[in-house]
Amino acid sequence: MDAVAVVAPEEELNLHRIARIQFDQVRPYLREIDDYEGLADFLFRPERLVEVVLPVLMDDGAIATFTGYRVLHSSIRGPGKGGIRFHPNVDQDEVQALAFWMTMKCALVYVPFGGAKGGVQCDPHALSLNEKSRLTRRFIAALGETIGPYTDIPAPDVYTDAQTMAWIYDTFEMMHPGDNNKPVVTGKPLELGGSPGREAATAQGCLYATEHFLELGGLPGMTGLSGVTVAIQGFGNAGRNAARLFANAGAVIVGVSDSQGGIYEPTGMPLAAVEHHKDTTGSVIDFPGTKSLEHQEVLELPCDILIPAALENQITLQNVDRIDTRLVVEAANGPITPAADRVLADRGIHILPDILANAGGVVVSYYEWVQNLENHQWDEHEVLDKLRTKMRRATEKVVLSRAALSETYEEAAAAHIERHGAGREVPPPDLRIAAYVVAVELTARSALQRGIWP
Ligand code: NAD
């Protein structure tokens, strides 16, 4: 069973509206945006929404019809970039939010891409490998010129992987013979032009950002990961690699979970053995010597660092009071609702926001794209060195931005009240708002430099 968010009735859960709330939170701190009437609306709304209907021949001879989406949120700073997700909850609002977050992420880590995202509403566990291949190929064929190496470049996301990217490349290559089509998609297998380091890049970026945040004094008394306890929700690309990398850096992994449930061992668990158990049984549950957990319980474990690495809306008003950690590192996109954000801030729990924490994936996707354009393959250490530098710089920008915003908070709040009246609360600056300020400012500046055409 996949994550089902339990929520209080007053809480906003629509991801597109959540994205808008997050965007609007920066406006008191970036008054230049409202100096240009209509600019904020232009920056938030997606450039292009595509919905396609996909008939697929199933193994039993039946025809199943799926719906696929691709949203190009922004090409202000370069071609659209963003993953493709196969999941039952995929809909236009979810894809729009994820595409917007990609625009913000690319700006924050300063890669020359805009944001995009795609998905097919389906249950990937119910599809055979051949059915998944046919669905992928039909999706790419239906998207036609919507994607391309210089316009919109897909990558993996939930329940898609390097094999899915290989099918995407192959399908696009069949439709465009004679061109160098490798850069049309990233996250490919190494043999087909994938980049060394891409598979674990999202988790690697989480690690680099977390380590640097600690070095910068983000959590007083904790300067490194040695002996630090970590709980992780999700054991796929982001979660499983994070577990391995944080453990290698000295952290103690006390809890992990996947879509079937979780496991807990307060003294730490032998990760290689847990991975073997997952590979042989399909889940982490029932790993010998650990306590079994219900889905959401992993989020409530006492730990120093909590890493949600599964789906959106996992920490809500319903469970936020039970979160027992010092720092949440958002490997997943959108795991915390805005209402829960405020509660965590009031409780002094920091959040390394998704647009920073999980940006390692798109950074190495960018490096893959560059290598493909050059028909070249870099060594893994070169990729990781560059990724580390990018993640550290982005982390510094966010920390510095927060410090600068804090100084101007009173002024920002007064300006906000003057513009919108006293009814709307102005949240004090946290790391998420600080990250958005950096990203929105760069995107806005780029838009104005290009000019509004005609
Ligand atoms: P994945 O398909 O590899 O793994 C998803 C994992 O989540 C699986 O282990 C699944 O069992 C687990 N899961 C699903 N429901 C769960 C639940 N209720 N409780 C616990 N676990 C549950 O996907 P992924 O690529 O690791 O993506 C995970 C998150 O990371 C998503 O939010 C995605 O957008 C984000 N992300 C991924 C990348 C990337 O490069 N893959 C990059 C940036 C962000």
What residue's CA is closest to ligand 1, atom 16?
A: 259
Q: According to the model, what pLDDT value does residue 5 have?
A: 46
pLDDT tens track for 31-53: 889 899 999 999 999 999 999 99
- Percentage of the chain modeled with pLDDT above 90: 91
Cα of 146 from ligand 1 centre, angstroms: 26
Q: Which residue has the higher pLDDT, 336 or 407?
A: 336
313 DSSP assignment:
S
Q: According to the model, what pLDDT value does residue 420 have?
A: 76
When pLDDT is cut at 50, 70 and 90, the band that residue 7 belongs to is very low
Of ligand 1's atoms, which has the minimum distance to the CA of residue 161? 3
Q: According to the model, what pLDDT value does residue 14 have?
A: 97
Q: According to the model, what pLDDT value does residue 10 have?
A: 75
Predicted confidence (pLDDT) at residue 338 exceeds the cutoff of 60:
yes
Catalytic residue among 117, 182, 188, 390: 117
Asked if residue 309 has its Cβ within 6 Å of ligand 1, the reply is: yes
- CB of 307 closer than 8 Å to CB of 230: yes
When pLDDT is cut at 50, 70 and 90, the band that residue 2 belongs to is very low
Distance CA 181, CA 184 (A): 6
Predicted confidence (pLDDT) at residue 129 exceeds the cutoff of 90:
yes
Q: What is the mean pLDDT of residues 378-399?
A: 98
Predicted confidence (pLDDT) at residue 4 exceeds the cutoff of 60:
no
**What phi-psi label fits residue 110: left (phi over 0), alpha (psi between -120 and 50 degrees) or beta?**
left
Sheet of 229-233: strand order equals 291-293, 261-264, 252-258, 229-233, 305-308, 327-329, 350-352
Distance CA 359, CA 375 (A): 24
Q: Is 132 a catalytic residue?
A: no
Rounded to the nearest integer, the mean pLDDT of the chain is 95
Predicted confidence (pLDDT) at residue 326 exceeds the cutoff of 50:
yes
Of ligand 1's atoms, which has the minimum distance to the CA of residue 238? 26
User: Which one, of 169, 166, 47, lies nearest residue 116 by Cα?
Assistant: 47
Tokens at residue 94, please? 């979810």
Asked if residue 202 has its Cβ within 6 Å of ligand 1, the reply is: yes
Predicted confidence (pLDDT) at residue 69 exceeds the cutoff of 80:
yes
Q: What is the mean pLDDT of residues 177-196?
A: 98
Distance CA 317, CA 443 (A): 32
Asked if residue 305 has its Cβ within 6 Å of ligand 1, the reply is: no
When pLDDT is cut at 50, 70 and 90, the band that residue 238 belongs to is very high
Q: For the ranges 231-245, 281-295, 420-434, 440-454, which has the lowest average pLDDT?
A: 420-434
